[in-house]
Structure 1
């Protein structure tokens, strides 16, 4: 399953908790907030003025790299 902008934060984190590093690196420190559970990556990025495509690309690269191991 590839992560998309429509993926909820909670779904991405359930897939692999290490994706939290990507969110944090991009200035999204509110992963524990109540909205994060139902919010899509796109919605969160828009709220924080962050490029959702960049974040999703970083997440998928991280997941692909882990899968290669």
Structure 2
């Protein structure tokens, strides 16, 4: 997934731990708050005084392989939790 100004925080969070780490390194610690999930990266960057283009460039440097691997691992975890009723 290519991040742009309209990409939602929830979609970036779903890119995996490296994306979350980048957001936090830019001072965006509230990314896990429910109210921020439907906010665009542009709006969130403005609230936090972050240069949105620099942030987008950093997020887009995450290798596609890493994003896909994390999504697969997350899906497996979700299936295991559902199958074995793990909380």
TM-score range, shorter chain: 0.7 to 0.9
| Structure with larger RCO (C-alpha < 8 A, sep 6+) | 1
Question: What's the RMSD between the two structures over aligned residues?
Answer: 1.8
Q: CA deviation at 1:15?
A: 2.8
Residues 3-62 of structure 1: CA deviation (Å, up to 9, x unaligned): 111100101111334200100111110011122111010000001110011111000012
* Superposed displacement of residue 64, structure 1: 4.7
TM-score with structure 2 setting the length: 0.67
Runs of 4+ in 1 over 6 A off after TM superposition: none
TM-score w.r.t. structure 1 length? 0.83
Residue 23 of structure 2 is matched in structure 1 by 23
Alignment partner, residue 39 of structure 1? 39
Q: In the alignment, what sits opposite 2:75?
A: none
